[in-house]
Structure 1
Amino acid sequence: MTAPVDLSRVHVVVPNFKKRLSGVTSTIIQLVPLQEKQIGIATLGPGLPDHLPKLRWWQVPGLLRRPKTAMVRVWHARRNPEMLAGVILRDIFRAPLKLVFTSASQRQHTGWTKFLIRRMDAVIATSVKTSAYLKVPNSVVMHGIDTDRFCPPVDRAEAARQLGLDPGQLYVGCFGRVRHQKGTDLFVDAMITLLPDHPRWSAIVAGRATAEHKDFEAQLRDRVKKAGLAERILFVGEHKDIERWYQPLSLFIAPQRWEGFGLTPLEAMATGVPVIATDVGAFSELIEENVTGALIVRNDLEAMIAAAKHWMGNEVALEKAGKAALDHVHTHFQLAGEARQLGDIYHEFLGGETEDNAI
């Protein structure tokens, strides 16, 4: 376990009160190492790797004192419990905090969430669509991607071989939690329809099915087995090195029925892989239609089959779209750009805080 950070030099606190891995947790894990090079920042809570700067729970009372070189700290919440904790610290215990909330939700907020949002000092939306659901002034800061971690392989066939896959096959992937909301069943059904007519292609489903979704996954596996495709539609589970599993892909499908933001299309495009995605979350703001991939109507199996058939049957178009996808991410969705925009918001509250004060 790493030593606790020097609280007097922490100017931004990033709480993470959910132990299980989620999109929010993944965002924090990727952003904070970049942010700590620019500003004194520390996380608080379970479920985060040891290489991140962390406050210990016993240090929380120290938040009642202001840090060095600033009159306040920023408390950057991304969930309701974290907003509530910030409100309690600031309004009840009089901690010198400015509260920032990032929202990825694309649905009407509950009364409780609206109550908490109204008490924030700044609100960030992760997309233009998300911004439209907020009833308070907000700034749009879209997620970026770590293009050092997610990058094309030197040789896709060799990348497949290193994962124990057939290097002679082309692969289409669907990554994320295995559940109805994520549309995993649509992907599987599309592949059951398409693969018999596309012998050079196989499919990869990567992600975890939590306990309440184990039966859902079992039903999908059973459908695949009955179709005689168990060796070509592969369920590979959850992987911490998921970037390696993008590298053998020639096509990625994001079949979600609902999504807040959705990082998987960016992860795929950063690896030079074109993306077919449903029009949910921020996907319409990430994908250039017929340039980096295609958008389809949510929950429409026939549309997914038609789009996948088009791309799977045109390797020249796939290669061209893959290069366009890579350029698109590098131009518009670098993780460093997201960190810089967040830093600008923090500095509005912190005044003269600079990277010289970083931990």
Structure 2
Amino acid sequence: MAAATGSIDVLSMLEHLRNNYPNMVDNVEQYKLAHLVILNCLEGTRTSIPIIKSFCREVERILEEDVAESQMQYVRECEWQDDSVKSIFSKQNSDQILFPEKDRFPNIQPEWHSQVYLRPFPPGSATESSTYINAIHVDGYEEQGRYVVTSYPLPHCIGDFWRLIVEQNIYVVVCLNETSSKDETCKLFWPINKTKMKPTEFISVQHVKTSSLKFYTVMTFEVKAETAYLEEVRDTTVEIIKFKGWNTSVILPDFEDFFSLAEDVIKISRRSTPVLISCYDGATASGLFIAMSFLIEQINQEHECDVCQAIRSIRTSRKQFVDTLEEVEFLYKACLLYVEQKFGNRTYTARHKVKVTRTRWRFFGGAGNDRHSRTVVSGAKEPTTKILPVRTVELRPREE
């Protein structure tokens, strides 16, 4: 209709559809969603790159011509659409109560629609703040609520951290940042050397073993929750995967180490969902990791790479996820190396090696903390019908 007449009539089309299928688009929220989908199809910028021979060339163009900066601006300009989708699928909790004394940073707080709540604690004499933890649900590439994200716990919140693990039935925890003995607000929150700790009166955590791999360490714990806390005694094995070398002193991680960790966690999370992702501030490293995981799955399943879509998807849960130009460029470079290693000369021959640039970033979030000049996305936009892409691109041998 838009192509043929230059205009659209949603109401007329809806009337036509409902004459044949009475239950289609039968409420206001679905009607709003239809408008958002149409808007995205007609005005959305195509940002997906197929994994074919020209992939390397296109990523290099994005990095060299400051296209990534324009894409980051496009993500911010589309936030109102993504926020509208939240209101469509979730009813805002006007009674949401926050407890800033449990937040590591005052400007990084859980969004109302994705917030995780704990059970009242202790049983029988719970305080109002006992149900609060700065943790959120985040969707993965294929699965809703695939991840739970939280910051490293403050010393008085270590019990809440382990309650989260028990109550959400979490068996795999990914810790992305190194802890520092100099930081009084971030002490080690698990036992070591086969010792036991009791983070709460009803939960005990026993260290079993530690295995050190190239990029990360895997620590195994036996966690026991007593009947006074849950309906029944629960003994579970929890693995904490601790990424090596990513200090909170502001350095972005090594590309290859990072996507190797993400690949391994993807394999593990297929057997264990949700996976708890934790980092120092609960936003910076966690957002980058989940975006990288999204892109790895998209590359393997669709043979496409859409950095903007990955960022928009996860930022619906937390605005501080992937909030800088450096992080966007990091994702493109990491995908470039990943595709080169994964597919080799079946896709393209790289003209240049990716230059690994150590970039500094700070541990604070907020959409208002824009530390880069804003470039308005201008010019004709390619129409696209892809909201959640499903098509695949055949990989062809490299042409000599």
* Interval containing the TM-score (normalised by the shorter chain): under 0.3
What's the TM-score once normalised by structure 1's chain length?
A: 0.25
- Larger of the two Rg values belongs to structure: 2
| Larger proportion of helix | 1
**Larger relative contact order, structure 1 or 2 (CA cutoff 8 Å, min sep 6):** 2
